[in-house]
């Protein structure tokens, strides 16, 4: 939050030890106030407790505000809510509510468009080629989609063709990720995910693009056009380096980078386009315990999970929109402004 200083976990842990504050949502509020206001000189505290496992996992989040009435103890409870954690990314809903409680304003996602749609990148997007092989799923061979790989658990296969634009949902792994006509009768083809609840609540379904060679430090833009009737869509762009592990006969391509799109809910069957910028890179090792990885490839991962239903993707576009300057910098929208200004 702009204008706020977040105390690191080590400072907080030391203060908890000094005040003998018990971890968890039921911590003694007087002890908590003494630690927050007295020892840490802080205004707001966010704390909580996770319980359960798997599908029953929950997290209770609390926010106490000491700013009113000169920090009168034991403070003003601003949030006390229990959340069901279906997937680890659901933690963001906790953080959004905490931000709203602290600022007094309803949380809204900042517009990434304002950060990434600078004129130069828009011009590059309009003229540069699409780096995705078979981006609109028009090509196939022997009745299977070309240049894309379906993944369910450890099973990998080329999605088979079906004439059913709305395929039946069944338990056959070979019929969950399909190559099909568009569901609205339009021209073109799609990757179709027909996902039962048994898979949606566990591993979900994915379809990977072919390997794409990239320049480390360059800025790329990815746009995905999709429609969902049920499933949550969570696309990734993953980066890979050639890494040799002791005991292996030859180096293998392994994941060393990941850019996640925002979580995309069901669209009710309407077509939407999600856009994200990325700057593939790998941080150098800090302690010399390994050699730095050389990121050479990326793949787009079309991933969906709970709830059950159908998801269609009809186009994937990836383009170079900015090459690094002489000093190696680009306008990475995922880097905080204060860090960019210090580079």
pLDDT 10s digits, 102-144: 888 877 665 555 557 788 999 999 999 999 999 999 999 999 9
User: Any idea what DSSP says for residue 89?
Assistant: G
Tokens of 324: 């690094």
H or E segment at 31? helix 29-33
Count CB atoms within 10 A of the CB of residue 315: 17
Separation of alpha carbons 187 and 175, rounded Å? 23
Kind of pairing between the strands at 212-213 and 309-322: unpaired
Residue 280 or residue 106, greater confidence: 280
Q: Report in angstroms the alpha-carbon separations of 195 from 177, 271, 311, 320.
A: 8, 19, 8, 33
Grade residue 303 by pLDDT with cuts at 50, 70 and 90. very high
Please determine, for residue 307, whether its predicted confidence score (pLDDT) is greater than 70. Answer: yes
**Of 77-86, 205-214, 270-279, the least confident:** 77-86
Mind listing the domains of the chain with CATH numbers? Answer: 9-103 (no CATH), 114-340 (2.60.120.260)
Q: Which of 64-68, 157-161, 264-268 has the lowest mean pLDDT?
A: 64-68
Can you name the residues that pair with 242 across neighbouring β-strands? 253
- Residue keyed to tokens 């990885």: 293
CA nearest to 33, candidates 71, 78, 81, 80? 71
Instruction: Return the percent helix, strand and coil in the chain, to nearest 5.
Output: 20, 35, 45
Listed residue (337, 274, 335) closest to 300, CA to CA = 274
Strand partners, 79: 63
d(CA 278, CA 222): 8
Instruction: Tokens for 17, please give them.
Output: 């030890």
Given a contact cutoff of 8 angstroms between Cβ atoms, the answer to whether 228 and 266 are in contact is yes
> pLDDT confidence of 288, banded at 50, 70, 90?
low
> Residue 206 — pLDDT band, cuts 50, 70, 90?
very high
**Looking at residue 236, what is its pLDDT?**
96
Q: Categorize the per-residue pLDDT at 329 as very low, low, confident or very high, splitting at 50, 70 and 90.
A: low
In 10 A of CB 261, how many CB atoms? Answer: 19
CA angle 200/202/205 to nearest 5° reads: 55
Distances (CA, A) of 73 to 36, 41, 77, 124, 314: 10, 13, 11, 56, 57
Q: With H, G, I as helix, E, B as strand and everything else as coil, classify residue 159.
A: coil
Phi, psi at 177, each rounded to 5°: -115, 115
Supply 68's token pair. Answer: 């009113």
Q: What is the pLDDT of residue 175?
A: 94
Is pTM, for the whole model, over 0.85?
no
What's the confidence (pLDDT) of residue 53?
A: 80
């Amino acid at each position: 939050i702009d204008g706020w200083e977040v105390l690191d976990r080590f400072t907080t842990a030391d203060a908890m030890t000094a005040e003998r504050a018990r971890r968890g949502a039921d911590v003694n509020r007087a002890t908590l106030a003494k630690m927050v206001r007295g020892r840490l000189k802080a205004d707001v505290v966010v704390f909580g407790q996770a319980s359960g496992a798997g599908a029953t996992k929950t997290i209770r989040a609390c926010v106490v505000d000491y700013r009113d009435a000169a920090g009168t103890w034991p403070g003003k409870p601003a949030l006390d809510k229990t959340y069901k954690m279906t997937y680890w990314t659901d933690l963001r809903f906790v953080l959004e509510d905490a931000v709203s409680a602290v600022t007094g304003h309803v949380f809204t996602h900042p517009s990434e468009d304002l950060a990434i749609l600078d004129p130069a990148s828009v011009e590059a997007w309009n003229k540069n080629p699409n780096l995705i092989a078979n981006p609109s799923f028009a090509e196939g061979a022997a009745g299977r989609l070309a240049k894309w790989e379906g993944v369910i658990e450890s099973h990998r296969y080329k999605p088979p063709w079906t004439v059913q634009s709305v395929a039946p949902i069944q338990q056959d792994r070979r019929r969950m990720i399909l190559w099909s006509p568009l569901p609205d009768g339009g021209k073109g083809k799609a990757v179709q995910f027909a996902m039962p609840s048994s898979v949606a609540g566990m591993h979900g379904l994915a379809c990977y693009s072919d390997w794409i060679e990239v320049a480390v430090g360059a800025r790329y833009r990815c746009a995905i056009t999709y429609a969902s009737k049920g499933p949550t869509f969570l696309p990734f762009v993953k980066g890979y380096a050639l890494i040799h592990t002791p005991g292996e006969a030859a180096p293998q391509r392994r994941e060393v980078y990941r850019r996640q799109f925002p979580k995309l809910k069901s669209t009710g069957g309407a077509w939407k386009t999600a856009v994200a910028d990325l700057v593939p890179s790998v941080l150098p090792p800090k302690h010399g315990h390994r050699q730095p990885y050389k990121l050479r490839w990326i793949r787009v991962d079309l991933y969906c999970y709970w709830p059950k239903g159908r998801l269609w993707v009809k186009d994937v576009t990836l383009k170079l929109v900015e090459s690094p300057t002489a000093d190696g910098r680009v306008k990475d929208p995922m880097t905080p402004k204060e860090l960019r200004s210090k580079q």
